[in-house]
Amino acid sequence: MLPIEFAGWAGLAPVYVLVATALVLFAVDSIDPRKTNRTLLAGTATAGSLVALAVAVWFLLAGVGTPQVDGGFGVIELHEGQLVVDQLALFFMVVIATVTSLVSVASYDYMEGHTYQAEYYSLTLLAATGMATMAASNSLVTIFIALELTSLPSYALVAILKDNRGSIEAGLKYFLIGALSSAIFVYGISLVYGATGFLQLEAIANNLESGYGPLLGLGILMLLGGFAFKTASVPVHFWAPEAYEGAPAPIAAFLSSASKAAGFVIAFRVFTTAFPLETTTAVIGIDWSVLFTVLAIATMTIGNFAAATQENVKRMLAYSSVGHAGYALIGLAGLGAGVNDVVMGAALMHLFVYGFMNTGAFLFVGLAEYWGVGRTFEDYNGLSAKAPVACAAMTVFMFSLAGIPPFGGFFSKYFLFTASIDAGMFAVAAALVINSALSLYYYSRLIKALWIEEPIGERDALSQPLGLYAAIVFAAVMTVVVLPGFGPVADVAVDAAAAIVA
Amino acid sequence: MSVGIEHYVLLSMALFCIGLFGVLTRRNALLFLMSVELMLNAANVNLIAFSFYHGNLTGQVFALFTMALAAAEVAVGLGIILVLYRNFRDVDVTVPSTMRW
């Protein structure tokens, strides 16, 4: 167990491990820049993210960040509350470190033959560091810096295939929209600062009443734009299909799972800590939970309807990830109703399960790109004859994303559904059910292509790249074993949610 | 002090809107980048003016961070625009459209 004298700064150990790994990767590459040892680089990146994962899980179980009344070590505040390590932060560090390790393992095969391997892994780890810092940020300053630390490596990673026009185009679009939204975000921060005089979240909450309403309202709206970009929600969702389609598949998996989760954690923290609903409503005259209800319904509907019309599998998954952002937004929409921590806990569970099933689905697309079978549904026809294991895993991901029992995705959606019924949000609950039913159409279309349809042409035997297979199979196993393990996950998620809404 | 806080806010809002207008109308990626810089600097004007108004240094320090981050963003952006030029022989943001919007 932990030593009795637990130094506060040690609470950020998962973040330190991630940043140290990124620097080690640079050092390894600078020893002999001409030679690329793929195994060493991928191994270092994977080991570093696994250590970060282990530390975060250990902290969570040992009670670091748990309030002392619950038998923990107490919430750790660093640098006068600029950073905070609580259960919510550790929960998201677990999600982020998991996705990072899956992506690192899968990249071993996917990036074979590409140049700039060391840069690729260290940028991935730096982006993961930014995401983990976002989870612990408790001030608009640290949030903005962590957000940029996540975004800047991500732009470079999306465009890392320098001779591939799709990758460059995706990187450009991602960068342009990202730069615009971070400018809007920082302007929003300046307006909130103007209205309250503080940037630390609790201090903002304490000084809300003295604030000037219109300035604050505009500031909050602009912050919302920044969060919508990071989580790929309506109205700033349209970069997602472009960026995910053109990016290398492991990077698409990384951005759509980990980056989205990190965007949600700052949205959750800012809106629960800095802008408590009653006080904010009294000052700006608008109930922001209504805004989130509208955004949640719009995001899931637009995402799912757009996904249903796609012919390209990766693009379908990109739109489905927009739809899933809508499901997670229910967590914020639910703050207007009574049972806050259950709704938000359900959203956290969904993001946790989503980290496995969505990463796995994108990695399967990466595997298909590795084989070179093509990008559309027809190109995937009959793949199960050649690669039954990977196709079985993909079937698990698809059913789980659609929310079919007994997979993990069913439980998180079920909790979201019952929690929103309990909170009296019937419109949201209805939209959730209708959209899940619609999503089953396009997910099962892929399963039909894999298992039932005949291949268009003759296909040679497909290779079995170890790294990609290992990552996909592990993600599939996790999606299934989340079922018996869901009790603890649900408890941790609800505790983590209660830590900030209380 | 003779200049009221509202004048600073009006100035920064004007800068922000000019930047936003540039982002929406310019097709050259470099001018797009400059417009984004204008928007970031509008936020800096706000931060420094409000810092003076509230009498604490938080805003001024954050403005320093924003400048550093803006520089980093331009560095990454120029890198992407460079590979854009190598692949498409143009820095017009409407040229790369191999993917359906």
The reply to whether residue A162 touches residue B83, judged by beta carbons under 8 angstroms, is: yes
Let me know whether A445 and A501 are in one domain: yes
Q: Is residue A186 part of a domain?
A: no
pLDDT beyond 90 at B92: no
Let me know whether A411 and A363 are in one domain: yes
Which residue of A148, A191, A242 is in closest CB contact with B69?
A148
Write the pLDDT tens digit of every residue in A336-385.
766 667 888 889 989 999 999 999 999 999 999 998 888 888 888 888 88
Contacting A residues, span 214-233, partner chain B, CB-CB under 8 Å = 215
pLDDT value of residue B13:
94
Q: How far is A404 from chain B (nearest CA, A)?
A: 31
ipTM: 0.95
| Alpha carbons A18 and A47: distance in angstroms, whole number | 10
pLDDT beyond 50 at B101: no
Residues of B with Cβ-Cβ distance to A245 under 8 angstroms: 99
Global pTM value? 0.92
Count other C-beta atoms under 10 Å from residue A10's C-beta. Answer: 16
Let me know whether A257 and A394 are in one domain: no
Domain ranges of chain B: 5-88
The reply to whether residue B77 touches residue A182, judged by beta carbons under 8 angstroms, is: no
Let me know whether A247 and A315 are in one domain: no
Number of domains in chain A: 2
Q: Is residue A42 part of a domain?
A: yes
Question: Scanning the structure block, which residue is given the tokens 């018996």?
Answer: A484
Let me know whether A475 and A344 are in one domain: yes
Q: Which residues pair with A139 in a beta bridge?
A: A200
The reply to whether residue B87 touches residue A189, judged by beta carbons under 8 angstroms, is: no
Contacting B residues, span 46-75, partner chain A, CB-CB under 8 Å = 46-47, 49-51, 53-54, 56, 58-59, 61-62, 65-66, 69, 72-73
Regions of chain A where pLDDT drops below 70: 1-7, 71, 337-340, 502
Which residue of A144, A155, A180 is in closest CB contact with B36?
A180
Phi, psi (degrees; rounded to nearest 5) at A458: -70, 145
The reply to whether residue A193 touches residue B58, judged by beta carbons under 8 angstroms, is: yes
Residues of A with Cβ-Cβ distance to B86 under 8 angstroms: 162
Per the CB < 8 A criterion, the answer to whether A499 and A75 are in contact is: yes
Per the CB < 8 A criterion, the answer to whether A440 and A81 are in contact is: no
pLDDT value of residue A131:
96
Let me know whether A325 and A238 are in one domain: no
pLDDT value of residue A337:
66
Let me know whether A261 and A372 are in one domain: no
Let me know whether A255 and A116 are in one domain: yes
Q: How far is B34 from chain A (nearest CA, A)?
A: 11
Which residue of B39, B58, B87 is in closest CB contact with A187?
B39
* Mean predicted lDDT score pLDDT of chain A: 89
CA end-to-end span of chain A, whole Å?
Answer: 28
Which residue of B12, B49, B96 is in closest CB contact with A172?
B96
Let me know whether A301 and A265 are in one domain: no
| Alpha carbons A251 and A100: distance in angstroms, whole number | 10
CA B46 to chain centre: 13
Q: Is residue A195 part of a domain?
A: no
Residue of B8, B15, B25, B46 to mutate for A, most A C-beta atoms under 10 A: B46
Let me know whether A61 and A131 are in one domain: yes
Which residue of B43, B49, B77 is in closest CB contact with A179?
B77
Let me know whether A494 and A355 are in one domain: yes
B5-88: CATH, from 1.10.3720.10, 1.10.1270.20, 1.10.287.3510, 3.40.50.2300 = 1.10.287.3510
pLDDT value of residue A73:
75
Q: Which domain holds residue A20?
A: 1-173+234-269
Residues contacting residue A376 through CB under 8 Å, at least 6 positions apart: A311, A312, A313
Task: Note whether A16 contacts B: Cβ–Cβ < 8 A.
Answer: no
Residue of B62, B64, B90, B92 to mutate for A, most A C-beta atoms under 10 A: B62
Question: How sure is the predictor about B97, in pLDDT bands with cuts at 50, 70 and 90?
Answer: confident
Let me know whether A409 and A303 are in one domain: yes
Residues of A with Cβ-Cβ distance to B5 under 8 angstroms: 194
pLDDT value of residue A1:
44
Which residue of A155, A190, A197 is in closest CB contact with B56?
A197
Task: Note whether B81 contacts A: Cβ–Cβ < 8 A.
Answer: yes
Helix (H, G, I), strand (E, B) or coil at A81: coil
Last residue of a domain, one of A215, A243, A269: A269
C-alpha separations of A127 from A99, A259, A484 in Å: 12, 9, 32
Residues of B with Cβ-Cβ distance to A241 under 8 angstroms: 99
Tell me which residue of A495, A502, A471, A226 sits closest to A364, measured CA to CA.
Answer: A471
| Alpha carbons A276 and A269: distance in angstroms, whole number | 11
